[in-house]
């Protein structure tokens, strides 16, 4: 199903489309407004942040205001060009897909979204991504980018999460960054990613309202099943629905290593709520 934004987007200047997407996105993904909860240093600052799947840059631009440097990976050529043209000076845009091995791979896109406007392209072919000719794109591993002091990685790759994580094995072991990963059961089971990260000392947190909850206390598959109708709505419709009438569809998980809690928190029963600064 095409959305209004996907139909109109190709006829608007790329910079206008990008600016509109960045302005609306915190209403669509409210975790973006809680970046300080995810970053390790007091005041919500960090060294290097990585945005895997940059799209039009809502995370890239917010991260650029808090990180010394941001590296954004975006395989769709015109999206990568749009990102690079408007990126702050501390942002490096890499036109490639993150995976578990370097080289090239087909990028699957919906047949009605040949330009990748919706940001749902994937290296994993699945229902709804069956364009007659997939576009080959370069692939890199996060490890081969030789990044240092990485404190935060956001991953939005529509089903290719495990290859991204496997390709960052050395980075994750060395820097222990916070990870914000889009996980949707309508795309694939979430258990493999959760299990992969649990084995590496990471625990998940979700934000269904104003309070971060441990993923172990929140049935994410059941929640997504009951709110699946929201996922089919476009960004514009969801963002413009008044807050009091806008149900929450949780589709991303914050993974923190080694017993860390979300941001500036104290133990409040079984849940975590904002409180006082915590140093690394």
CATH number at residue 201: 3.40.50.150
| Percent of the chain predicted with pLDDT > 70 | 74
The model's pLDDT over 152-166, given as tens digits with 9 standing for 90+, comes to 999 999 889 999 999
pTM of the full structure:
0.83
Q: Which position has the token pair 């229902």?
A: 127
Whether 202 has a pLDDT exceeding 60, the answer reads yes
Indicate the pLDDT class of residue 1, thresholds 50, 70 and 90: very low
Whether 188 has a pLDDT exceeding 60, the answer reads yes
The pLDDT assigned to 37 comes to 94
C-alpha span between 23 and 50 (Å, rounded): 20
Give the least confident one: 65-79, 117-131, 200-214, 260-274.
260-274
Is 2 part of a structural domain of the chain?
no
Is 111 part of a structural domain of the chain?
no
Q: How many independent structural domains does the chain possess?
A: 1
Give the range of the structural domain holding residue 189, as residue numbers without chain letter: 14-103+140-261
Is 38 part of a structural domain of the chain?
yes
Lookup: tokens for 224: 């997504």
Is 83 part of a structural domain of the chain?
yes
Whether 130 has a pLDDT exceeding 60, the answer reads no
In DSSP terms, 138 is beta-bridged to 104
Q: Dmax over Cα atoms in the chain, in whole Å?
A: 53
Is 134 part of a structural domain of the chain?
no
C-alpha span between 59 and 51 (Å, rounded): 7
In DSSP terms, 152 is beta-bridged to 49, 178
Lookup: tokens for 180: 């914000």
The model's pLDDT over 120-129, given as tens digits with 9 standing for 90+, comes to 677 776 665 5
Residue 250's nearest CA partner among 198, 196, 279, 212 is 212
């Amino acid at each position: 199903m095409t959305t209004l934004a996907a139909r109109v987007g190709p006829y608007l200047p790329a910079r206008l489309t990008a600016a509109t997407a960045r302005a609306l996105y915190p209403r669509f993904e409210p975790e973006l407004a809680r970046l300080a909860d995810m970053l390790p240093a007091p005041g919500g600052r960090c060294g290097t942040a990585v945005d895997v799947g940059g799209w039009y840059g809502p995370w890239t631009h917010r991260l650029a205001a808090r990180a010394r440097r941001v590296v954004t990976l975006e395989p769709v050529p015109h999206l990568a060009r749009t990102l690079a043209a408007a990126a702050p000076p501390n942002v490096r845009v890499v036109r490639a897909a993150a995976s578990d091995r370097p080289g090239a791979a087909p990028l699957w896109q919906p047949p009605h979204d040949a330009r990748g406007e919706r940001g749902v392209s994937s290296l994993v072919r699945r229902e709804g991504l069956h364009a007659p000719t997939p576009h080959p794109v370069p692939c890199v591993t996060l490890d081969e980018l030789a990044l240092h002091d990485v404190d935060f990685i956001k991953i939005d790759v529509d089903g290719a999460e495990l290859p991204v994580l496997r390709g960052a094995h050395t980075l994750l072991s060395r820097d222990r960054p916070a990870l914000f990963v889009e996980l949707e059961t309508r795309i694939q089971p979430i258990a493999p990613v959760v299990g992969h990260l649990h084995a590496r000392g990471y625990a998940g947190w979700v934000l269904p309202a104003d309070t971060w909850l441990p993923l172990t206390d929140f049935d994410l598959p059941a929640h997504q099943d009951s709110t699946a109708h929201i996922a089919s709505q476009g960004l514009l419709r969801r963002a413009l629905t008044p807050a009091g009438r806008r149900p929450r569809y949780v589709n991303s998980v914050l993974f923190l290593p080694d017993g860390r809690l979300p941001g500036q928190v104290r133990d409040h029963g079984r849940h975590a709520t904002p409180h006082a600064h915590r140093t690394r």
